[in-house]
Amino acid sequence: MPEGHVLEFTAVTKRFGPVAAVDGLTARVEPGVVTGFLGPNGAGKTTSLRILLGLVRATSGRATIGGKTYADLPHPLQTVGAALEASSFHPGRTAANHLRVYARAAGISDARVDEVLGLVGLAGVAGRKVGGFSLGMRQRLGLAYTLLGDPGVLVLDEPANGLDPEGIKWLRGFLRQLAQEGRTVLVSSHMLAEVQQTVSSLLIISNGRLVYEGDMAGLTQPDDYATIVDAPDRAALAAALDAQGIPYEQLRTGFTVREADPARLGAIAASAGIALSNLQRRGPALEEVFLDLVNATRVHTSVAGAAPAPTDATVGGPSEVTEAAADPAGTAAAAPAPDGATPADHAPDSTAAPDGTPAAEPAPASASAPDSAPAPDPTSTREPAPTDAEEEQR
């Protein structure tokens, strides 16, 4: 059974000139649950994940996987499976051959390629070239790549992007199943509605700073909720509430009560012989709370006092376009290099093949590729990796 690892961000900061893309991020991701990593576009999610995966060097702080940086992992592909985009595929390669390149570089058998394609529902198109795949099919192929080494940690950036409703439903169940096996599953998204049916734990960032850390239930506070109660005989209901010393606010639709739950109010009405016409608990929608947190109109107790005051450089959110322009070398390939390659924390070597050998030397995996396509070079033979701005706008 794969072993999950704790992911830790400790005071991680990444600056591009005056812009803080990530600003003092301290957070912890536990195994055994699906953790959602949320924030609006430009919040710093992708940059944080790239720092975790050794694709970008932090200005300060440290991000670790099981206590080690990605560069120190002895077998990266067997420890962490990561997919940060769905377009880093050579269009002339088949789905199976795309995975075989990485599998052979990491010492993984070809049988595992067929297995993971079956797990993600692509067994029937294993021999088709990726250039003809839809975005949803590419998402599934990216997920298949993350599972090649049967890792204990999965890091996925917007995995539901491009999936149809059936695919999204399948993904939810699949991620929960992986977490139940003891793996660490971190899923990035910018919409709470996309992940609230899947995740058990949340990290929410805005302007590069943590604004919430905890479970879904803890996202709202007790005082966010009120009970709405009404009866045909409102005078009798008001008298019963007054007799119990329960404060209330009378509205057109009944009474709003904040200091008693529906069960207690129902019992009071029953003991007084009052028939109720309405009794319900109301609170803010989760998306409303999410927007309040990222817009700084609400400060959650889980991070209260931990975040520094906004500076002129960071008010309005870090510019991912500025990030890409200021440090183009930092925009590394979306997925970590295959097992055995050194993760780039600066400009990726434009002459390196996926297995870590120079492009001038033939890659062993490509020599036997059935479709005879050239080995995919990270910078010249595949679709260009998107900038952080393009990644966050998806």
Parallel, antiparallel or unpaired: strands 7-16 and 60-65: antiparallel
- What is the spatial distance between Cα 82 and Cα 147, in angstroms, rounded to a whole number? 9
Residues 267, 292, single domain; the answer is: no
- Report yes or no on 367 lying in a domain: yes
Say whether pLDDT at 162 is over 70: yes
How confident is the model over 50-64, as a mean pLDDT? 96
Two tokens at 10?
A: 């400790």
For residue 335, what pLDDT band results from cuts at 50, 70 and 90? very low
Residues 113, 196, single domain; the answer is: yes
- What is the spatial distance between Cα 247 and Cα 31, in angstroms, rounded to a whole number? 44
Strand blocks (E) in the chain: 7-16, 19-29, 34-38, 60-65, 80-83, 153-157, 184-189, 201-206, 209-215, 226-230, 249-251, 254-257, 278-282
pLDDT on residue 217: 78
Which pTM was predicted?
0.69
For residue 191, what pLDDT band results from cuts at 50, 70 and 90? confident
- Could you count the other beta carbons within 10 Å of the beta carbon of residue 266? 16
Strand blocks (E) in 153-277: 153-157, 184-189, 201-206, 209-215, 226-230, 249-251, 254-257
SS3 state at 280: strand
For residue 86, what pLDDT band results from cuts at 50, 70 and 90? low
| Structure confidence by residue, pLDDT tens digits, 115-140 | 999 999 999 999 999 999 998 899 89
Distance between alpha carbon 284 and the CA centroid of its chain, in Å? Answer: 23
- Report yes or no on 27 lying in a domain: yes
Domain span including residue 185: 7-219+288-393
Residues 43, 132, single domain; the answer is: yes
SS3 state at 37: strand
- Report yes or no on 130 lying in a domain: yes
For residue 74, what pLDDT band results from cuts at 50, 70 and 90? very high
Among 80-89, 254-263, 302-311, top mean pLDDT goes to: 254-263
| Structure confidence by residue, pLDDT tens digits, 246-292 | 999 998 889 999 888 899 999 999 999 999 999 998 887 777 888 87
Last residue of a domain, one of 266, 282, 298: 282
| Longest CA pairwise span in the chain (Å) | 88
Say whether pLDDT at 111 is over 50: yes
Say whether pLDDT at 188 is over 50: yes
How confident is the model over 365-380, as a mean pLDDT? 37
- Report yes or no on 89 lying in a domain: yes
Residues 313, 263, single domain; the answer is: no
Residues 343, 388, single domain; the answer is: yes
Residues 267, 307, single domain; the answer is: no
- Name the average pLDDT for the chain: 79
Residues 326, 342, single domain; the answer is: yes
Instruction: List the CATH number of the domain containing 321.
Output: 3.40.50.300
- Report yes or no on 296 lying in a domain: yes
- What is the spatial distance between Cα 165 and Cα 360, in angstroms, rounded to a whole number? 44
Among 169-178, 183-192, 322-331, 340-349, top mean pLDDT goes to: 169-178
Residues 268, 380, single domain; the answer is: no
- Report yes or no on 132 lying in a domain: yes
- Could you count the other beta carbons within 10 Å of the beta carbon of residue 126? 18
- Report yes or no on 2 lying in a domain: no
Residues 273, 360, single domain; the answer is: no
Of the candidate ranges 211-220, 284-293, 352-361, the one whose mean pLDDT is the lowest: 352-361
- Report yes or no on 1 lying in a domain: no
Q: Give the number of domains in the chain.
A: 2
Residues 238, 317, single domain; the answer is: no
pLDDT on residue 382: 38
Residues 240, 365, single domain; the answer is: no
Say whether pLDDT at 317 is over 60: no
Instruction: List the CATH number of the domain containing 250.
Output: 3.30.70
Half-sphere exposure of 388 (CA within 13 A, CB side): 31
For residue 301, what pLDDT band results from cuts at 50, 70 and 90? low
Residues 95, 143, single domain; the answer is: yes
